[in-house]
Chains A and B, each alone.
Chain A
Amino acid sequence: MRKTTLWTLAILFAAVAARAEQSVNATRSVAADATISIENVVGSLTIIGSDETELRVTGTMGDDVEELEISGDADELSIEVVIPDDDNWQGKRKVGADLEIRVPRGVSLEVESVSASIDISGVSGAIEAGSVSGAVTVAGGSSDVEVESVSGAVSVTGGSGSIVAESVSGAVVLEGVAGDIEATTVSGTIKVDAGAVDDVELESVAGSIYFKGRLTDGTLDIESHSGNVEVLLPADLGAEFELESFSGRIENAFGPAARRSDRYEPGVSVEFSTGSGSADVSIETFSGNIVLKKY
């Protein structure tokens, strides 16, 4: 008898728990070059570019999510996970949503979250994606990408054109990217493993910076306060170099050793050129070390 009661309670509990999720399955017609904005506070967003001509949203939402609001028209569509408008929901209500959104490949995206992770792949239109603590990942060849996170990691793979990535404490990882690159962080690390790049700007306060890429006739401008900087450039690169550090060490595989900039004050620097000198390389730190290597 007692065993039966326990089983009954367990089944009831499972039924209640199962009700704590709402399933989502919605489609909308959108133009191939539509602008789509998406907002989800908690959970995850997976956005996939495909050859389909409509937008499809599938997934699950917590029971306390008020609704999945889809508004706008075929050229400009907005998707928002609407949650209760109070300040006490965190950790107490089920407001998370895990959504997979399939979109036509050529759309432009504006995606925003607080702690939800954002994963975008296969979209060739412009992408803007930001999160507070969620990770932001973009893969698959968009021409213009702007991604930012406060504490989440930011990652872009395979883009070209203009790539801008920012974080406060999260790592910034750019792999297989090309074109113009700008990455900024306060304490997160920046790692760029690029193809052919034009203009590159990397800036960190306390995080370390790693760059490897083929610079032709553009500029590579790196600034760091206390983070170490490691740069790998093709051995046959023709460039004008300026390396300078106030109290860090400089290792230079491309030219002469750095010397003290002023007889009476600390700081080392070196300026030199190689080959045709058509590219410009400038690396500056306050206390971080600089290592310049050939590959």
Chain B
Amino acid sequence: MSDHDEVRAVRELRAAVERLPREVRPARDLWPEIAGRLDERPRDQSAAGWWRLAAAVVLMAGGLFAATNLAPEARSPLLPVAAVAEAGSAMAAAHLRQRDGVLHAHNDLIAVAAQRRGRLDAVGAAALVAGLADLERATAEIEAALADSPRDRRLRLALAAAYRREAGWTSRLARV
């Protein structure tokens, strides 16, 4: 190959490289597979600092309410929080402890509601428990998604909203 040919080949190669797209869009949606793999690896422990704080605030509010309003004998078994418990990481364990506090407050409120009336019927009591489980499930889903995408601002906002929602419903249920 002469020098002239080599220069021409290099120019053509460079031109070809410049014609390549800056981004390559996948032929199909790869997110489900990525999300599946993310689920398999340990959760990012560093990303959860601020919402641990949010959980702690909710916990403190719940604990304060429980301490000032609830009788000790009102305690009842915890609701299951399968999504959080299954995560298994150190972060999930720490978070689970915080969530335990919130759940204690929730369950105490159910017991208090029953005590106050002494007449809460089975349908209403079951609806309360199921409603709280739904709230827990929704929050756990957002927590799991945020653990996978810790920089997602919308998820952080959604989780904060979920904690507010739980706190709001907890206080509503206290009025029952």
Contact = CB atoms under 8 A, between A and B. Distances in A.
Given A115-B121, A186-B169, A267-B154, A132 B176 contact: yes
Contact of B152 (A86, A223, A262): A262
Contact of B127 (A150, A166, A244): A150
A274 interface: no
Nearest to B165: A205
Interface class of chain B by DSSP:
helix
A180 to B, nearest CB: 19
Given A89-B119, A286-B158, A168 B141 contact: no
Interface string A127-159: 000001100000000000000101100000000
Given A150-B173, A206-B134, 5 more contacts: A114-B119, A114-B121, A115-B124, A205-B165, A265-B149
A223 B138 CA distance: 13
Interface string A189-222: 0000000000000010110000000000000000
Contact of A205 (B126, B134, B172, B173): B134
B142 to A, nearest CB: 6
Interface residues of B, number: 34
A168 B127 contact: yes
Given A114-B119, A244-B154, A168 B131 contact: yes
Which interface residue of B121, B126, B128, B173 has the most chain A CB atoms within 10 A?
B121
Interface string A224-263: 0110000000000000000010110000000000000111
Contacts, number: 92
B128 A265 contact: no
Given A132-B120, A206-B134, A223-B161, A151 B141 contact: no
B146 to A, nearest CB: 10
Contacts of B49: none
A187 B123 contact: no
B158 A90 contact: no
Nearest to A185: B131
Contacts of B35: 266
Contact of A114 (B120, B161, B165): B120
A282 interface: no
Contact of A206 (B120, B126, B138): B138
B169 A287 contact: no
